[in-house]
Amino acid sequence: PDPALVEAARERLGGLATPAGALGRLGDLAVWVAATQGAVPPAPIERVRAVVLAGDHGVSDHGVSAYPKAITGAMVRTFVAGRAGVSVLARQHGVTVRVLDLGVEEDLADLDPAVREFKVRAGSAPIHLQDALTVGEARRAMAVGAMIADQEIAAGAQLLVSGDMGIGNTTPAAALIAASLGLPAEAVTGRGTGVDDAGLAHKTAIVQQALDRVGDRADDPVVTLQALGSADLTASATFLARAAHAGVPVVLDGVISVAAALVAERLAPGAAAWFVAGHRSTEPGQAIALEKLGLEPVLDLGMRLGEGSGAVAAVPLIRSAGLLLADMALLADLLP
C-alpha cells in the first residue's frame, strides 16, 4: 500500500468525532482497509470471495490426525451442499464460497466438474519419507493458485478469504512454518483436530523427521512447498502471493492459511502488507507465523475449525472498520 494513503487514512481517523484511539484495533483496521483500497475514505466492502482449497496428505496414513482421511471428501460434499461452518457464516455475510479439490484422495466424480477442474493429484506423499509433490506437480499447483486468485479478482473481489480443508493438514502446515523460520518441530506442532498427548508427540516426531529429511533444501521457498507441503498448500501460497501482487487484500484464517502466507511472503517479500489475520487459532505455529508476519488477529475465540471459518467470521469487523472511517462524523462537523 502507498504510504501517502496510509498517512491520509490516519489523518482522517484522527479527525473523527471520537477521543483519540477510541476505536482501538478497528482504527488500525480502518487504515489498512483504506490503504489497501487506495481510497480515503474507503468504499464499503461488498464483494468478498472465499476460496477453500481441499486436499489430502500422505502423513495422515501415519497417525498424525484424530480423524480418518475419508472425512476430507465428505466435507467437500458438505461445502457443496452449503452446510459446512464456513458456508453458514458466508451466507450470513454475503460472502461467496468456492471449494476446489486440489488434491483430495477420493474421486468426487459425482460432483460438479468445476470442483475438480484444478486437481493436481490425489493425495500427497508422506512428507517424513519423501517429497510431497514431484517438481512438475508443484509447478502446476503454483500456477493453479495464481490463476484462481486472478479469476476471483476478475470476478470483482474487493476482499479475498483463504480457506482450507484436508484431514492431516496441520502436519505439513507445521513443517512449512518450522522450515520457513528455522524452528524445531516442537515449537510449532499442535493438536490439530484433537490428538492426545501421545498423538502430539508422534506428530511432532513426524514433523521433525520431515524437516531433517529436507534439510537445507528448504532454503528455497518453492522447494519448501514441494517437499513439505501439498498441492493445496502450494496453491494457497501462490494464491496469496498473487492477490498481494494484484493489490487485493486477503483475510487469513488458521494455521494452514497462515503457513501458506508465510511462504507467500518468502516468494514475494512485502506480500504480508496485504493480509489481515482473521482469528487466532489454537495451533502454536499460527501464533509464531503471525508474529513473524507482523499480524495481530482480529478475533480470539479459540476456534479451530479451518475451512476459512475464522476469517469469514471476522469479515463484518473488517467491514465495520471501513464504514466507521467513511461514515462517522468528523470533529470539525461537531464543534464548528
Q: Which of 57, 69, 242, 304 binds a copy of itself (CB under 8 A)?
A: 304
Range 21-59 burial, b when 16+ CB lie within 10 A, else e: eebeebbbbbbbbbbbbeebbbeebeebbbbbbbbbbbb
Regarding 240 and contact with a copy of itself (CB under 8 A), the answer is no
Strand order across the 275-277 sheet? 95-103, 48-55, 159-165, 250-252, 275-277
> Can residue 88 be called a binding residue for a copy of itself (CB under 8 A)?
yes
CB of 41 to a copy of itself, least distance (A): 12
- C-beta of 251 vs 305, nearer to a copy of itself: 305
Q: How far apart are CA 202 and CA 93, in angstroms?
A: 39
CB of 77 to a copy of itself, least distance (A): 8
Q: Distance of CA 285 to CAs 110, 132, 180, 273, Å?
A: 36, 20, 11, 20
Burial class (CB in 10 A: 0-12, 13-18, 19+), 215: exposed
Q: Does 9 bind a copy of itself (CB under 8 A)?
A: no
Active site residue 296: no
Does the footprint of a copy of itself cover residue 110 (CB under 8 A)?
no
Should residue 200 be labelled a site residue for a copy of itself when binding is judged by CB under 8 A?
A: no
Q: Which is nearer to a copy of itself, 154 or 334 (CB)?
A: 334
151 CB burial (10 A radius; 0-12, 13-18, 19+) = middle
The one-character DSSP state at 44 is P
Pick the piece of the chain touching a copy of itself (CB under 8 A) from 116-124, 232-240, 260-268, 302-310: 302-310
Near a copy of itself by CB under 8 A, which window of 80-88, 229-237, 238-246, 266-274? 80-88
Q: Is 260 in the site for a copy of itself (CB under 8 A)?
A: no
In angstroms, rounded to a whole number, what is the distance separating the alpha carbons of residues 10 and 267? 30
**Active-site annotation, residues:** 307
Binding region for a copy of itself (CB under 8 A):
17-26, 66-67, 71, 74-75, 78, 81, 83-85, 88-89, 91-93, 193-194, 282, 298-305, 313, 316-317, 319-320, 323-324, 327-329, 333-335
